Amino acid sequence: MSFWRFFYEMIILLAVITYTILIFADPADHPHLTEELIRKVDLGLILFLGFEYLLRLYLAKNKQKFVRENWFDIIAIIPFDLLFPLARFMRIIRIVRLLKASPLLWSVLNSNQMRKIFAYLAVILLWSATAVYLLEKGNNDSFQTWGDALWWSVVTTTTVGYGDISPITEGGRIIAAFLMISGIGLIGTFTANLANHWMTFFEAPSNREDDVFEALEEELAYEDDRLQNHLKHNVMQWVHRIETLSESEYQTLLRTLEMLREKEL
């Protein structure tokens, strides 16, 4: 993995975090974060996404097919929010488009393991935040809004425990104990899978194996059952000599199996 590709991924990650802050920020609470500044950031992101789209369109072999497959990208770069009161909605559309610009982040979101962890984590955080908000509101001045409760749930689940907000009711403390106990294993699982995905992504060679996988993905999307049968035959051949496969070949085998399974579903 080249330094510049790693640098690009980090820039996109920081851009996603920064733009997410702008989505949820209230300009009225910040003297320097004005609506004018946010509009300039929106315009800069539109220009970046537009340039990136035109570059990929220029490099695409089949331009009509590229346009059909990337219709969402076109919506993300149209400045609807400058014409209609759709700023918050369009920013969410652009944050998704920005995630797609990063192969690493998009692969994390498309990973079955990571999606299961995200889903479980979202359910736990939303449930605990809502429950502790209902239990503590009126009894505890620390929980003024549901956002305060969500912040407390995140801090408690990660076992950071800032102490700026804490429950005082028995029910709230039971929820806190549950989050602390489950958070140890949950965050450990999340970070372990994220680190493994990160290392696999950056250490996998971007040569023949990646090219083979991209070709297989392309063919699975547009070829008939004959090609799928051929791929299944190749998978069986790989399985028969699985003990001799290299790490990159093994990863390619797993990804091919996952594609075949999704195609059947």
* Average pLDDT rounded to a whole number, residues 27-31: 67
Query: Mean of the per-residue pLDDT values for the chain?
Result: 76
Which tops the pLDDT comparison, 192 or 125?
A: 125
* Average pLDDT rounded to a whole number, residues 184-201: 75
The domain defined by 3-103 folds into Four Helix Bundle (Hemerythrin (Met), subunit A) (1.20.120)
Question: Which of 141-145, 147-151, 196-200 comes out lowest in average pLDDT?
Answer: 196-200
pLDDT at position 207, please? 46
pLDDT at position 157, please? 85
Instruction: Give 208's pLDDT tier (boundaries 50, 70, 90).
Output: very low
Helix axes 170-203, 103-110, angle to 10 degrees: 130
Which tops the pLDDT comparison, 263 or 19?
A: 19
> What DSSP string describes 68-135?
HHTHHHHHHHS-GGGTSS-HHHHHHHHHHHHHHT-HHHHHHHH-HHHHHHHHHHHHHHHHHHHHHHHH
pLDDT at position 212, please? 46
What pLDDT, in 10s, does the model give residues 67-125?
Answer: 888 887 887 777 766 555 566 677 777 888 888 777 777 777 777 777 888 888 888 89
Domain residue spans in the chain? Answer: 3-103, 112-203, 208-264
pLDDT at position 233, please? 67
pLDDT higher than 50, residue 227: yes
Letter string b/e over residues 107-130, b meaning 16 or more CB atoms within 10 A of that residue's CB:
ebeebeebeebeeebeebbeebbe
Give Cβ neighbours of residue 248 (< 8 Å, ≥ 6 apart). 204, 205, 209
Q: Select the highest-mean-pLDDT range: 5-9, 120-124, 252-256.
A: 120-124
On the 0-12 / 13-18 / 19+ scale of CB atoms within 10 A, 59 is exposed
Phi then psi dihedrals of residue 122, to 5 deg: -65, -45
Percent of the chain residues past pLDDT 90, beyond the cut: 4
Give Cβ neighbours of residue 258 (< 8 Å, ≥ 6 apart). 112
> Domain spanning 112-203 has what CATH number?
1.10.287.70
Instruction: Give 130's pLDDT tier (boundaries 50, 70, 90).
Output: very high
Other beta carbons within 10 angstroms of residue 131's beta carbon come to: 17
Query: How far, in Å, CA of 217 to CA of 226, rounded?
Result: 15
